[in-house]
Amino acid sequence: MNSNAQTDREMFWLMKYFLPLLLFAGIGALLVTNYSSAFVVINRLLLDAPFLLWGIFLLTVAEVRATHSRLEFRRFYKWRQMPYAAIRQCAPSLHPGLGFIELNQFQSRIYFVTLRPTFDRSCDVVAYINERRLGPHVANAPHPCKEYNGALRSNIKSIRLCLIMFLVGILYSIFFAVWFPNLFSESNWNESPPWMSIPMILLLRAGSWPWALLTMAALIAWIMAMRFQKRAWALAMVVGSLVGRLSMQVWR
């Protein structure tokens, strides 16, 4: 078996359990914060429905192990096996950090985690599965692991920049919370024109407990969708500022 052609365990736990936990914690906090009536809870639940469905979907994703002769996968405890001939299609999903497998026999998809750590130089699982599935038709194609390693090396600088800007965002948020504690208060915008006050108040609430949990989950997914490229460092800085702001709120 090629031990590299498999889901990374840490990334699997991040996608399958940590992100849903973050989403469910944010949804639960929104439902019970400033509780006034059942009508308010129902309205909030309808508003949170996309995040709830997103969390439930992530709980269904699997991890895979691509061996030389078969594919193994599991969603929770029991490993299952299938021959590569049973796979009709294997491709990256629109959801960042996931891939999917379509089977010949059933009209269904198995979503699995493809996200890998920053400095992991192991094989691209999707490319390896397709190599085994197509067999001799790709015998002369470049080895997917080599192509993946080359792309990963070019991406390390972008990931480092995102990590640095994440830390900058934390320090930036803590600085303003200590020296200018009332700078981002909603009361400062109450007397402003509606076209200015409403967007700013919504923006401030998106960065406050418990909305910030859902905001961070969405930003993290956006960063992964961009694969840490382009302007992902700006989103990483926003995530860092939210972490710093929530930390100061808890500390106080």
Mean pLDDT across 171-189 = 70
Mean pLDDT lowest among 27-41, 56-70, 161-175:
27-41
Distance from C-alpha of 14 to C-alpha of 61, rounded to nearest angstrom: 11
- 202 compared with 51, residue with greater pLDDT: 51
Q: How many CB atoms lie within 10 A of CB 199?
A: 11
Residue given tokens 């197509």 in the structure block: 134
**Structural tokens at position 231:** 């302007």
**Residue 34 backbone class (left: φ over 0; alpha: ψ -120 to 50; beta: rest):** left
Distance from C-alpha of 6 to C-alpha of 150, rounded to nearest angstrom: 18
**Complete DSSP assignment for the chain:** --TTSB--HHHHHIIIIIHHHHHHHHHHHHHHTT---HHHHHHHHHHHHHHHHHHHHHTT-BEEEE-SSEEEEESSS--EEEEGGGEEEEEE-SSTTEEEEEESSSS-EEEEE----TT-----HHHHHHHHHHGGGGTTSPPHHHHHHHHHHHHHHHHHHHHHHHHHHHHHHHHHHHH-TTTT-GGGGTTS-HHHHHHHHHHHHHTSTTHHHHHHHHHHHHHHHTTT-TTHHHHHHHHHHHHHHHHHHHH-
Distance from C-alpha of 144 to C-alpha of 130, rounded to nearest angstrom: 9
Architecture field, domain 1-141: Roll (2.30)
Mean pLDDT across 219-237 = 79
The residues near 157 (Cβ < 8 Å, ≥ 6 apart) are: none
Determine contact, residues 248/177, Cβ cutoff 8 Å: yes
pLDDT in tens, 182-209: 656 655 556 666 656 666 666 777 777 7
- 249 compared with 170, residue with greater pLDDT: 170
pLDDT at 23 over 80: yes
What average pLDDT does the structure give for the chain? Answer: 76
pLDDT in tens, 60-98: 999 998 888 888 899 888 898 888 888 888 888 888 888
Distance from C-alpha of 126 to C-alpha of 167, rounded to nearest angstrom: 32
pLDDT at 18 over 80: yes
pLDDT at 131 over 90: no
> What ranges do the domains of the chain cover?
1-141, 154-252
pLDDT at 138: 46
pLDDT at 118: 55
**Residue 239 backbone class (left: φ over 0; alpha: ψ -120 to 50; beta: rest):** alpha
pLDDT at 25: 85
pLDDT at 60: 92
